[in-house]
Amino acid sequence: MEERNKMKKWKVALIGCGSIADNTYLPRIKDIPEADMVAVCDIIPERAKDYAEKFNVPAWYTSIDELLEKCDFEILMNTTSIPAHHEINMKALKAGKHLYSQKPVGLTVAEVTEQIEAAKAAGVKYAASPIHMLRDDIRFAKKLIEDGCIGEIMKVHTNVCHGGPEYFQYRTADPTWFHRPGSGALYDMGVHGLTMTTGILGPAKAVGCMAKISEPVRTVRSGTFDGMKIQADQLYDNYIITLDYGDRAMAVVESGFCQKDSKAPQMEIFGTKGTISLANDWSMNPMDSLEVYLDAPERGIRGWLKPMEWDIPACEMNFFQCKVVQDLIYAIEEDRPVGLPPEHARHVVDIMCTIPEAIETKSIVPLHTTF
């Protein structure tokens, strides 16, 4: 730890001054001792200036080109809107910047592959959101599975939904873009459940899906555009996705913008000897959010249990989203793989890009990638 504390501070820039930058990343970057936030960037100058002042960031810019030309930084955090990710990611990678990108990192398998190849060519590290496989509760669940706690996995059920970006989040920007081509419930929410599920079970073999437009007119419920009506009839907002894992295992992922709230577990993992259930409370602390059902007749046990303390260093616990930057920095310094590899993100994009065919043909459609 003493050696770690002597390491350099890495110069970090953030592009995309929206709600997730405001409430998730910029307030917590100060808690990453290895990171120094040197600039923010947004295509709306007033917003970039306001965020720089609010979070005491020394410089602000209005385009990725200006940022790359004028700012001395080493790591880019891309928190722009979904359609902008690929172009910005490619410019940053080709400029030799290490990168953390919000999800999905691209809209097609070809785009993500291009980014992966660009990172390799530039010799930089690239971490791809979503962040779930770094969460304490999911890492603990994976350890329990690897230790054989619940036997062979037969099924995973994941439920990652909310009532829509206009419903549950305070926003100063118009949220209509979430309901337009290039975004939508699948890319905004489905990516979470698919990442969690494939992170547990590995690459899927095929995908099926049923989807509906369940709420074609939506009302903004807070923020600058409170009360505004949104025509949301261009994209599906309600998905039930099935993943095929061969002879004995499968998964169901429920996702979309059609759950105002839910008490259902965020994820349940069903094995031949028991079940792991992760609560839908986003605490991410395995001692709070994770329960295990164990069927162990040899021990006289059949019922729900709380796990014992997880014996790992305190510095590796207490996950919050900005720790993805710390993992990226450690990967750079130790020359090891990142905890959020873009190859995993590419497989999730493969699933999302194959889902329209599964919906149209009402069939199970083979996938094309692995990780």
At 168, the pLDDT band (50, 70, 90 cuts) reads confident
pLDDT for position 288: 78
pLDDT at 149 over 70: yes
pLDDT of residue 289: 85
Q: What confidence tier does 306 reach under pLDDT thresholds 50, 70, 90?
A: confident
Strand order in the sheet with 365-366: 301-305, 290-296, 274-278, 267-271, 153-161, 250-256, 238-244, 206-212, 365-366
Contact between 191 and 102 under an 8 Å Cβ cutoff? The reply is no
Q: For residue 38, name the pLDDT band (cuts at 50, 70, 90).
A: very high
Determine the Cα–Cα distance for residues 283 and 281; give it in Å rounded to an integer: 5
Query: Is-cis flag, bond preceding 181, omega within 30?
Result: no
In degrees, to the nearest 5, what angle opens at C-alpha 216 toward C-alphas 213 and 218?
Answer: 130
User: Which pLDDT value is given to residue 314?
Assistant: 57
User: pLDDT at position 3, please?
Assistant: 53
For residue 2, what pLDDT is reported?
Answer: 44
Quick: pLDDT tens for 43-90.
Answer: 999 999 999 999 999 999 999 999 999 999 999 999 999 999 999 999
Domains of the chain: 2-131+321-338 (3.40.50.720), 152-271+349-365 (3.30.360.10)
The mean pLDDT of 20-47, rounded to a whole number, is 96
Q: Is the pLDDT of residue 159 over 60?
A: yes
For the stretch 222-237, pLDDT in tens is 889 999 999 999 999 9
Where residue 6 falls among pLDDT bands split at 50, 70, 90? low
| Average of per-residue pLDDT across 115-131 | 98
User: In the chain, how long is the greatest CA-to-CA distance?
Assistant: 67
Does 360 score more than 50 pLDDT?
A: yes
Q: Rounded to an integer, what distance in angstroms lies between the CA atom of residue 126 and that of residue 49?
A: 27
The whole-number average pLDDT for the span 312-334 is: 84
Burial bucket for residue 311 (CB in 10 Å: 0-12, 13-18, 19+): exposed
| Cα angle for residues 300, 306, 308 (degrees, 5° grid) | 95
Of 63 and 247, the structure prediction assigns the larger pLDDT to: 63
User: Is 1 a residue whose pLDDT tops 50?
Assistant: no
On whether the pTM is more than 0.75, the answer is yes
Judged against a pLDDT cut of 80, whether residue 206 lies above it is answered with yes
